[in-house]
């Protein structure tokens, strides 16, 4: 059980309000009684906070429902339709996408632009503005923009640094560009870190405090929740599991290392192998369903075993209790999820009574873009933005 979130001290007023809003927004608490229990505050304190939030148009009471024995059920609480929304922007190697979503993480609008064959920095910036202009058109109740990008990024300087396989585009000052154009608070984080936050707040990571999110796609990325908090270092640099070596004599990687796991298991590599050995031009998802083809089975087994090897190394450092699979890994057949779980538990160093769990991300391929918006919500839940001033 996580520790009680609330603290009965006036210094923590904002933080308590942020926590209460989080518990309501994520559906963890549905009424004042549950909030009182989860926060460890008095009934009266919770009543006061909730009344303030109703007044401010953040929270709304739900209609009374009658229980079977005709006792009145406690009045339900939910996020008010009048509450501010956040925009999530996702920058990927092939496309950029923006969504408008509410505090309960329902997507209200979505806009995507695929870049085409070759783009430069100016074109990328134009495409980012294009999706955001469309999403923000006519919206006057947006609290912030959260951006998620392929790495490496520096969340503290608000820059995308030098991503591999990205048309040679580098050093994009995303935060300052967006602040200047939209006059909203802007937060930038690595895409897989965003996904980890999203799953931890709203998805399959909710009951866990130590989570490793794996993003499988054109690269292999990771997001880390440690002791209930997003892993963060001083320079805002994300963890890069893709460059954990699984073979010191292996292929040369552009990072300078050899045998980086990404070189073997990133989707374009695996797909190339599958197409070569089967002579068929299917997409990755279709291959994942071809369980009876021994050659497909062998290639996918190798992929999972290689990825598991890098995951074990990481689990030995972080002692994660849950591994969440995102990106193209959500298309894996369940037996590959089980295989990865078995390998990790056979090889991890620390023996613990509960085995490490491996699950697919609740929000599937949307955990990164929803996580972009969660960048903004995380600020609110920590007592910022809405509760400042």
Binding-site ranges for Zn ion (CB under 5 A): 243, 253, 255, 257, 260
342 token code pair:
């078995």
Q: Say if CB 4 and CB 20 are below 8 A apart.
A: no
The SS3 of residue 206 is coil
Nearer to Zn ion, 200 or 243 (CB): 243
Task: Please state the closest distance from residue 257 (CB atom) to Zn ion, in A.
Answer: 4
Q: In 3D, which of 221, 241, 228 has the Cα closest to residue 197?
A: 228
Task: Please state the closest distance from residue 64 (CB atom) to Zn ion, in A.
Answer: 58
Nearer to Zn ion, 184 or 253 (CB): 253
371 token code pair:
């996580």
Task: Please state the closest distance from residue 190 (CB atom) to Zn ion, in A.
Answer: 16
Task: Please state the closest distance from residue 312 (CB atom) to Zn ion, in A.
Answer: 18
Task: Please state the closest distance from residue 255 (CB atom) to Zn ion, in A.
Answer: 3
Quote the CA–CA distance of 233 and 111 in Å, as a whole number.
Answer: 32
> Cα 40–229–327 angle (5° rounding)?
125
Nearer to Zn ion, 34 or 247 (CB): 247
Task: Please state the closest distance from residue 242 (CB atom) to Zn ion, in A.
Answer: 7
> Cα 226–230–236 angle (5° rounding)?
120
CA 350 remoteness from chain centre = 27
DSSP string of 237-250? PPP-GGG-BS-TTS
Q: Say if CB 326 and CB 220 are below 8 A apart.
A: no
Quote the CA–CA distance of 148 and 165 in Å, as a whole number.
Answer: 17
Task: Please state the closest distance from residue 189 (CB atom) to Zn ion, in A.
Answer: 21
Nearer to Zn ion, 78 or 255 (CB): 255
Quote the CA–CA distance of 273 and 155 in Å, as a whole number.
Answer: 35
Nearer to Zn ion, 153 or 186 (CB): 153
One-letter-per-residue 3-state SS of 286-303: HHHCCCCCHHHHHHHHHH
Nearer to Zn ion, 250 or 257 (CB): 257
The continuous run of DSSP H or E covering 223 comes out as strand 220-226
Quote the CA–CA distance of 42 and 306 in Å, as a whole number.
Answer: 51
Nearer to Zn ion, 81 or 256 (CB): 256
Nearer to Zn ion, 152 or 236 (CB): 152
Task: Please state the closest distance from residue 262 (CB atom) to Zn ion, in A.
Answer: 6
């Amino acid at each position: 059980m996580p520790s009680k979130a609330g603290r009965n001290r006036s210094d923590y007023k904002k933080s308590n309000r942020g926590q209460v809003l989080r518990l309501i927004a994520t559906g963890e608490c549905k009424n004042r009684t549950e909030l009182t229990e989860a926060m460890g505050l008095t009934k009266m304190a919770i009543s006061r906070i909730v009344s303030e939030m109703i007044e401010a148009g953040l929270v709304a009471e739900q209609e009374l429902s009658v229980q079977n024995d005709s006792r009145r059920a406690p009045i339900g609480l939910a996020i008010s339709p009048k509450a501010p929304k956040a925009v999530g922007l996702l920058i990927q190697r092939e496309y950029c996408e923006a969504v408008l979503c509410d505090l309960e993480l329902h997507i209200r609008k979505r806009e995507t632009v695929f870049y085409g064959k070759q783009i430069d920095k100016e074109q990328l910036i134009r495409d980012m503005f294009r999706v955001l202009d469309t999403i923000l058109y006519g919206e006057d109740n947006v609290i912030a923009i959260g951006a998620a990008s392929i790495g490496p990024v520096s969340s503290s300087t608000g820059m995308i640094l030098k991503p591999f396989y990205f048309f040679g585009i580098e050093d994009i000052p995303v935060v300052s560009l967006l602040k200047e154009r939209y006059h909203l608070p802007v937060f930038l984080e690595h895409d897989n870190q965003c996904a980890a936050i999203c799953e931890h707040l709203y998805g399959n990571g909710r009951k866990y405090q130590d989570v490793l999110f794996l993003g499988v796609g054109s690269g292999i990325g990771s997001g880390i929740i440690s002791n209930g908090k997003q892993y963060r270092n001083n320079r805002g640099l994300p963890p890069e599991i893709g460059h954990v070596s699984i073979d010191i004599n292996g292929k040369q990687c552009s990072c300078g290392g050899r045998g980086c796991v990404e070189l073997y298991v990133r989707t374009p590599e695996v797909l190339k192998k599958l197409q070569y050995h089967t002579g068929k031009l299917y997409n990755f998802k279709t291959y994942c369903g071809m369980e009876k083809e021994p050659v497909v089975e062998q290639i996918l087994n190798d992929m999972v075993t290689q990825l598991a090897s890098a995951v074990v190394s990481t689990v030995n450092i972080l002692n994660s209790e849950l591994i969440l699979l995102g990106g193209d890994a959500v298309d894996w057949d369940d037996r590959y999820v089980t295989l990865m779980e078995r390998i990790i538990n056979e090889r991890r160093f620390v023996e613990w009574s509960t085995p490490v769990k491996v699950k697919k991300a609740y929000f599937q391929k949307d955990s990164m873009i929803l996580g972009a918006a969660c960048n903004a919500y995380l600020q609110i839940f920590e007592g910022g933005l809405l509760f400042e001033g």
